[in-house]
Structure 1
Amino acid sequence: MLIHISADRKNASVTSVPRDTIVEIPECTEPKTGTKFKATKATINQTLGRGGAGCTLATWEKLTNIYIDHWMTIDFSGVVKMADAIGGVDVCVNQDVYDGPKPGVGGGSGLKLRAGTTKVQGEQALQWLRTRHAFGSDLGRAKAQHMYMNSMIRGLKSQNAFTDIPRLTNLAEAATKSLEVSEEIGSVKKLLDLALLLKDVPVNRITMATIPVLEAPSDRNRVVIDTADAEKMWTMLRKDVALDANGDPAPAGSGSPSAPAPGPTPATSQPPASDPAKTTVQVVNGTGVGAPAVSKRATAIAGQLVSKGFALAKADSTLTPEKATLVRYATDAQAADAQAVAAALGIPAGSVQKSATASKITVVVGADWREGDAYPQQPAPEAGAVPETAEVLNGTDTSCMDVYGPYQKW
């Protein structure tokens, strides 16, 4: 799940990718053993075993072209502990459900509920989150997880938990015993600060969604990303456009969201951009998406940069297909220089990203810029313009899950 909280802290979203989605997994290294795994194409749930959470994060960044600031994982026992710590979560099914083994279909989470609303906690909460067959598929499971999270947030808000600092601190302390987190949020206080970002987000501005997918041509039990619809969602997240339409309308004629673009914000003490003549820039050709790559496109844009004073700009012969043009950089010290490169080419600030895979400032000339010297300006997507295929669920939605027929009997 990718969690995004808007720069103005007025809306938030959670986007799931089904575990059986076939994606491109980059080369990864297991940090504890140093074992290297070659780049491959496989289901996204395999990333954790190919280098841990860092490989999962790198795969998400490759999939979305979104810089991810933090990561956390919670183990099964942690789910049970957290469900108990918050006093349980209300869930609802339209029919009786028993997610047990069936002839020819083993396993099952063991979830057993009567139709209607039940407050689940402990082991039962874990069973709800793991139920797959009784809810039809991975997509059904993602929807059930979204219902659980929405219900949990509604419950915490109704209890004023986000303003009860002692209670929130206790929850954070309980969470740290079950969570594995990225280094920069490895304390109770920092985890608490992260939770407080949700304090002022109204429930009707929280959106749960599943990335649009299609049945994999090679395997009907696997899915692939629906690239057209998925890209609309990734663009909204990159540009910090709300997935809901419940906010105040943008000022007339603004043409873009008022909030700054998402991603790492340079510290106020950060030095200004360096002398362009001393800034090393790599330009790669990414125009080969949906059509053959445009010949010498990287060379042409590198030439544009040289003409604007970036004397060290050079084209790279690598072909790296990307739908959208991006400027990537490796370290915070390069952030201002990367923004200067983007400005010289007319590339919007929201398309400048810190990336774990970058080694230097790199301009990726995408399929959206196949000709011309200046980057063609793209209209900003409208708030709430999420494809119907994304299975959107608003935070106020209290609907119930339908149970797949064979699993309605106890």
Structure 2
Amino acid sequence: MALTPRTAVAPEGSGRHGGGRRGGVPKTERRPRRRRALRWSATVLAVVILGTAGAGYLYYQHLNGNIQKGRRSNGDDSKAQRTRPNAAGQTPLNILLIGSDSRNSDENVKLGGAKYDRGSPPLADVQMLIHLSADRKSAAMVSIPRDTRVDIPKCTDPDTGKVYPATNDIINTTLARGGAGCTLATWENLTGVYIDHWMTIDFAGVVKMADAIGGVEVCVRQNVWDHSTPAQRGGSGLKMKAGRKKVEGVQALQWLRTRHAWGSDVMRARAQHMYLNSMIRTLQHQNVFTDTGRLMDLAEAATKSLKVSEEIGTVKKLYDLGMELKSVPSDRITSVTMPNVQDSQNGEHVVPEKAGADKMWQMLRDDVAFDKNGKPSKAKQAGSKSQPTKAPSVDAARLGVVVQNATQSSTEAAVGGRARTIGQVLVQKGYGRATADTSAVLSADQTVVRYPSADLEGDAQGVAKALGIPLSQVKQSTDVSGVTLVVGADWRTGTAYPKKSAPKAGDLPSNSDAINGSDTSQCMDVYKPYQW
């Protein structure tokens, strides 16, 4: 990916909401980004090691007591549903890792910002989805840049009861709008991917666990020094010579928070992925589990630093989860960044690149491996057939179906009369009671058939089959009172639902910046002003 002057000068210390602003930075945005980028790697490490340090029941209970827990989702009714089980009854597992910049202690203030930052609403500046395949043989790690502008649903703070109305803003603000559950709800609404759990971690624990790893190998192609320049203030302080080197402690932190020297926040995500892949390889080769002292230090730091969704709020559950992650071979782990383009409303932000992002989300929903190194399992092949799984409750002619026009998108106006046109198609196919809802024009990237309760699932599947809509786009939702066809922006023309070829393993968008976990040749290029 080529670096351009525009991306290369994005300021490191230019505000919690990301992006520099001409004429200086307001005081409220002068929060250094120290220690922030290391949290996501420490979270993965924590998942891997938690649970093994319990030498006895009391210590186990002590570790359990360290873990903070919260509600899984604080957002409005999500349209995301779990991927259907394969023939072996297996389903994928999705975990959202969130790096919080909360200044909730003296130590966190010292590591991450000035005293006036203490008590400020936290931001989710690092967000990464870990996807474990249903057969647990492959994994994907998907980052969304912190300055991505998205639709954020209405969220309720579980502690205060404060309700935050739906809005359109950059994604790192979600943590301050009801906690991690709001970040999860935003991801689900954006991707359509059901997320089982979330985990957040703060600054202090990251530093302790980074030291305990014992060093992770990284690589730069040129000498690098990420420091303030006349043209750009701030910087991580990273200074190292070209080649490969193990970094730990403060230098590992510097590597992970560097942005100027890499050229952009997207390149920083690449450097983070390189570090994380190298860390996983390091842990897989280390005999960490036999070193009781190291293990106990890691477990203590991790449980004090983690906050998790309540479903996984015990050491035992985290340990089981860690064992599943640890069993995936490094050549079946793929890290990517959501395809994105510059935001037309604000050049310092980005928005999803629709075609590439939609393809990536579909691969996650359909549990398609991001790598090409595996073989399709018989269970997955058997479970992939798109055939109705339940019988209709009534004849098609007696079923009331509401058709809604949701062809409006962020870049295109709605297609007039679309609900009426598709409603007529349904009538021709035997659904004589299909009617168009003309009360409002909605917005949806993808066409879906919704139903309110389990007894209507078979009927909704029948509607989808009649129109050639994949069963993965049949969703249960409390937003509707009967079977409802939502005609999305992916079906703006024609009377037949557009046929799409199913994505194949490893067929990722070219702009996803994919890195395989076994690739040891990765090396960061240094933007010219930061070479020495």
| TM-score, scaled to structure 2 | 0.63
Q: Measure, in 1, the Cα distance between the counterparts of 2:403 and 2:295.
A: 47
1:302 Cα deviation after fit: 11
Q: Does 1:402 align with 2:525?
A: yes
Distance in 1 of aligned mates of 2:382 and 2:206: 34
Q: Secondary structure at the match of 1:155?
A: helix
* Unmatched 5+ stretches in structure 1: 262-271
The answer to whether structure 1 residue 48 and structure 2 residue 168 are counterparts is: no
CA contact (8 A) 2:393 2:459 kept: no
C-alpha contact (below 8 Å) 2:420/2:435 kept by paired residues: no
CA contact (8 A) 2:451 2:460 kept: no
TM-score, normalisation: structure 1: 0.80
Deviations 1:111-132 (A, max 9, x none): 2323222222223222222111
Equivalent residue in structure 2 for 1:365, among 487, 490, 494: 487
Shift in Å, 1:316: 7.9
Native 8 Å contact 1:7 1:260 kept in 2:
no
* Distance in 2, Cα, partners of 1:174 & 1:247: 36
SS of corresponding position for 2:326: coil
Say if 2:205 is the partner of 1:78: yes
Equivalent in the alignment of 1:292: 414
Partner of 1:92: 219
Residue 128 of structure 1 aligns to a residue whose secondary structure is: helix
Q: Give the match's secondary structure for 1:71.
A: strand
Quick one: distance in 2 between partners of 1:206 and 1:20? 25
Which of the residues 311, 327, 335 maps onto 1:200?
327
Structure 2 runs not aligned, ≥5 long = 1-127, 385-389
Match 2:447 to one of 318, 322, 325: 325
CA contact (8 A) 2:154 2:167 kept: yes
Q: Matches of residues 234-245 of structure 1 in structure 2 within 5 Å?
A: 234-245=361-372
- Hey, what's the Cα distance between the residues in 1 that align with 2:360 and 2:153? 22
Give how far 1:137 is off: 0.7
Deviation at 1:139, TM superposition (A): 0.7
How far is 1:85 from its partner? 3.1
CA distance in 2, matches of 1:380, 1:350: 12
**What do the CA deviations read for 1:247-303 (whole angstroms, capped 9, x no partner)?**
22688xx9xx62857xxxxxxxxxx999569x9987543233446335262795599
The match for 1:144 among 258, 268, 271 is 271
- Checking the alignment, whether the CA contact within 8 Å between 2:211 and 2:249 is kept in structure 1 is yes
Q: 1:89 to 1:360 in 2, by over 3 A?
A: farther
The separation in 2 between residues aligned to 1:189 and 1:218, in whole angstroms, is 46
Distance in 2 (alpha carbons) for counterparts of 1:323 and 1:76: 37
Do the aligned residues in 1 keep the contact of 2:215 with 2:246 (CA within 8 Å)? yes
* Preserved contact between residue 218 and residue 523 of structure 2 (Cα < 8 Å): yes
Partner SS for 2:222: coil
Q: What is the CA-CA distance between 1:227 and the residue it aligns to?
A: 1.0
Cα deviation for residue 218 of structure 1 reads: 3.4
- 1:264 is aligned to none
Alignment match, 1:35: 162
Contact 2:262 2:526 in 1 (8 A): yes
> Cα–Cα, structure 1 residues 374 and 336, in superposed 2: closer, same or farther, change >3 Å?
farther
Map of 2:68 onto structure 1? none
Aligned residue-pair number: 391
Other structure's SS at 1:118 match? strand
Q: CA deviation at 1:315?
A: 4.9
Q: Give the Cα separation in 1 of the matches to 2:184 and 2:149.
A: 15
TM-fit CA distance, 1:393: 0.7
Task: Return the index of the structure with the highest Cα Rg.
Answer: 2
Q: What amino acid sits opposite 1:16 in the alignment?
A: S
Question: Pairwise CA RMSD of aligned residues?
Answer: 3.9
Equivalence for 2:306 = 179
What letter is aligned with 1:367? A
> Which deviates more, 280-289 or 81-90?
280-289
User: For each residue in 1:199-257, what CA deviation from the matched residue of structure 2 results, as whole angstroms up to 9, or x when unmatched?
Assistant: 33221111111111112223332222211221111111111111112222688xx9xx6
Residues 66 and 353 in structure 1, CA contact (< 8 A), matched pair in contact too: no
Of all paired residues, the percent bearing the same amino acid is 54
The aligned residue for residue 385 of structure 1 is 507
Counterpart of 1:150, as a letter, is: N
